[in-house]
Amino acid sequence: MTPINNPRRRFLQTVGATGALALAGCLEGDTAEETTEEDSNGDQNGNGTDGDEGLPPAEEPDVDTIAADPTDIPDPVDWNEPRTHEWRIQTEEHVAEIEPGVTTLFMTFEGQVPGPFYRCRVGDTVRLEFDVPDDLNDDVHNIDFHAVYGPGGGAVDTTIAPGEGTEVIEFQTKYPGAHIYHCAPGNHDQHISLGMFGTILVEPEDGLPEVDREFYLGQHELYLEGDTGEDGHHAFDFDAAADEDPDYVLFNGEFGRFTEEGEAGPLHAEVGETVRVFWCNGGPNLVSGPHPIGNVWSQWYRDGDVLSEPAQYIEGSAVPAGVTAIGEMEMEVPGPISLVDHALSRLVHKGLHAQIMVEGEEDPEIFNPDP
């Protein structure tokens, strides 16, 4: 990952009939402004009295984004006999932007929120090497897989302080389903809130039905100092977490990243396709009500149960914190599908929003905007 510039504070656009632009001076001004602010706070910082009012300035992000790519999912299982996987997972703490000018210190598996999507078949064995490198971590971490029989789902034997060296555990996946994994270090809520959760999919012996596309999104709440949208660096707020009163509820640690206005833009699908969404609700606290605006979950695998027959044509469901559910949709007509938690204050006020832009032929028999 590469460093990025300071969050945009403002930009200046000079517009002319000739197209000549005079931008450079003012873009530089952003940096100058940042410096000025830091200078003006310098004495306070030096005297240790900063923080009475407002937030410290936004910090320089370590990474372009903390958000995982929702399309970064391993291929479906194509083997018929148990096999052994060797996975290596390291924890990484990074400063990243929630939205422009708003930063926090995220905690992650492999530098992304949610952590990587792991995929295997029931009966497979996983040999896991777990590391907490001291150049990337200040805190103790571990990993608890809900797909594992054993103490703490593996957490007891993977608990490492930074730089202590790697731990290795081995487990057999005895039961299928989509399951959460997460950090469980004592302050579970803090570490999960800040990004330490993800999905392990244990496919049943016969696999899952084939689909055209799969997406993987991680919902979580951020409990932070300061107000939603306030410029500056927001430290974790343990009291707000205890009150379950988040400042942000997000997919993948970033405000509306996968929307038309977001940095990455909407996800993509095409008319005629079947799309599967893995809705990983890390929490740490809130129950999610997944709903696809402009579509329906034609197959809904409640709580990630892949053995029971899925429910059909579900508008929404309840996904508790610490559960990955699976929904499938048919792409019947073009246009945007908004993926929301139907507790809609989280959409309007707190940033939880992703879109799938469906491209293809209109079908006026199914939907006609102007009959």
Partner 1 sequence: MKHLTRRRVLASAAATGAAAVAGCLEDSDASGDGADANDEPPDEATGGSGALGDPAETVTVTVVMRPSPQFDPGIVHVEPGGTVRWEIEGLRHSVTAYHPETYGPQRIPDGVEPFDSGTVREGHEFEVTFEEEGIYDYVDTRRLCGSHEALGAVGRVVVGWPDLEGQPALEHDPAELPSRGETVMREYNDETWAALNDD
Looking only at residues 41 through 70 of this chain, which bind partner 1 when binding is defined by CB under 8 A? 53-55
Among 2, 3, 18, 47, binds partner 1 (CB under 8 A): 18
Least distance in Å: CB of 286 to partner 1?
19
Positive or negative, the CA dihedral 210, 211, 212, 217 is negative
Binding mask 285-314 for partner 1 (x = CB under 8 A): --------xx--------------------
Cα distance between residue 292 and residue 347, in whole Å: 13
Where does this chain touch partner 1 (CB under 8 A) — which range of 8-16, 148-156, 214-222, 276-284?
8-16
Q: How far is CA 19 from CA 10, 15, 16, 76, in A?
A: 21, 7, 5, 50
Cβ pair 310, 182 in contact under 8 A: no
* Residue 81 binds partner 1, judged by CB under 8 A: no
Residue among 359, 361, 339, 261 nearest 295 (CA): 339
Cα distance between residue 97 and residue 321, in whole Å: 24
- The number of beta carbons lying within 10 Å of the beta carbon of residue 230 is 15
Looking only at residues 321 through 350 of this chain, which bind partner 1 when binding is defined by CB under 8 A? 336, 338, 340, 347-349
Residue among 249, 122, 233 nearest 193 (CA): 249
Where does this chain touch partner 1 (CB under 8 A) — which range of 17-25, 137-145, 168-176, 318-326?
17-25
Cα distance between residue 43 and residue 166, in whole Å: 42
Among 164, 206, 245, 261, binds partner 1 (CB under 8 A): 261
Least distance in Å: CB of 299 to partner 1?
22
In this structure, the chain runs to a length of 371
Cβ proximity to partner 1: between 93 and 225 the closer is 225
Where does this chain touch partner 1 (CB under 8 A) — which range of 115-123, 180-188, 227-235, 305-313?
227-235
Looking only at residues 91 through 120 of this chain, which bind partner 1 when binding is defined by CB under 8 A? 99, 101
* Residue 231 binds partner 1, judged by CB under 8 A: yes
CA 235-91-101 angle, 5° bins: 35
φ, ψ for residue 44, nearest 5 deg: -60, -45
* Count of alpha carbons within 13 angstroms of residue 13, beta-carbon side: 2
Among 5, 33, 44, 307, binds partner 1 (CB under 8 A): 33
Least distance in Å: CB of 37 to partner 1?
6
Cα distance between residue 109 and residue 2, in whole Å: 18
* Residue 363 binds partner 1, judged by CB under 8 A: no
Where does this chain touch partner 1 (CB under 8 A) — which range of 15-23, 299-307, 316-324, 327-335?
15-23
Cα distance between residue 44 and residue 236, in whole Å: 22
Q: Applying CB under 8 A, what is the total number of residues that bind partner 1?
A: 43
Among 6, 9, 85, 204, binds partner 1 (CB under 8 A): 9
- Residues of this chain that interact with partner 1 (CB under 8 A) are 9-22, 25-26, 29, 33, 36-37, 40, 53-55, 99, 101, 226-227, 229-231, 259-261, 293-294, 336, 338, 340, 347-349, 353
